[in-house]
Structure 1
Amino acid sequence: MVEIRQMNPDEKQTVKSLIEKCGFEYYDSAITHVVSDKDRIIGASQLAVEKSEAQILSIVVDENFRRMGFGDGLLKMQINHCYKNDISVVKVRKGIADGFFKRVGFIETQEWLVLDVQAFYLNLHCR
Structure 2
Amino acid sequence: MTDSSDDLWPDLTGEPSQKPPLLILREQAAKLGAKTSNIIEAEVEAYPDNKGRLHIRFTLKAPALNGYEYTLLKIIQPIDLYPVCFSDSDADFWDDNNLKNEQEFKQYLEDVFKSEHTVNIIRSLVAQSKN
Q: TM-score, normalised by structure 1?
A: 0.30
Q: From the two aligned structures, give the one with the greater strand fraction.
A: 1
Higher Cα Rg, which structure: 2
TM-score, with structure 2 as normaliser = 0.29
